[in-house]
């Protein structure tokens, strides 16, 4: 069983965004696998960098569509994205400075971070994007 299993309840009803969310979950699951397999800081940081890179791409994609269709909650959603990226970067800095070891606590944070954002903030756009060409 994976650390996070995709579930239909996570669907935001926009296929491309569901696929991107599944990719984000897959990277977090890789981090979990790395932790239990005893990967070193270098390998874990490499996966975390990929998570940050893919997250930025995904957030940009959502923001581009929100902006194109004048989504009314665009500004708040963008701010939530910025905060999430800043939070993960802070963790990354702590890991790189040796202040904190990669841990289940960090993975629990990432799981909560992603799932809460998808189930909360992202799900709000489902109805708005229904029938739009994304």
Which residue number, 43 or 85, has a Cβ lying nearer to ligand FEO?
Answer: 85
Q: Are 114 and 28 in contact (CB under 8 A)?
A: yes
Q: At what angle do helices 15-37 and 104-116 cross, to 10 degrees?
A: 170
Q: Are 20 and 61 in contact (CB under 8 A)?
A: yes
Which residue number, 34 or 58, has a Cβ lying nearer to ligand FEO?
Answer: 58
In whole angstroms, how close is the CB of 50 to ligand FEO at the nearest point? Answer: 17
Binding site for ligand FEO (CB under 6 A): 17, 21, 58-59, 62, 77, 81, 117-118, 121-122
Which residue number, 106 or 121, has a Cβ lying nearer to ligand FEO?
Answer: 121
CA distance 44 to 32: 9
Distance of CA 68 to the CA centre of its chain: 22
In whole angstroms, how close is the CB of 41 to ligand FEO at the nearest point? Answer: 27
Which residue number, 40 or 120, has a Cβ lying nearer to ligand FEO?
Answer: 120
CA distance 13 to 117: 15
In whole angstroms, how close is the CB of 6 to ligand FEO at the nearest point? Answer: 13
């Amino acid at each position: 069983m994976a650390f996070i299993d995709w579930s239909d309840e996570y669907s935001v009803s926009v296929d491309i965004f569901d696929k991107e969310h599944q990719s984000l979950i897959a990277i977090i699951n890789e981090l979990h696998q790395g932790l239990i397999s005893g990967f070193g800081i270098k390998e874990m940081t490499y996966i975390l960098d990929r998570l940050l890179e893919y997250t930025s791409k995904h957030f940009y994609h959502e923001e581009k569509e929100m902006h194109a269709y004048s989504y009314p909650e665009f500004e708040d959603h963008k701010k939530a994205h910025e905060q999430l990226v800043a939070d993960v970067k802070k963790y990354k800095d702590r890991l790189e400075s040796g202040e904190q070891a990669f841990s289940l606590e960090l993975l629990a944070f990432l799981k909560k971070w992603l799932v809460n954002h998808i189930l909360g903030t992202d799900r709000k756009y489902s109805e708005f994007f229904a029938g739009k060409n994304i």
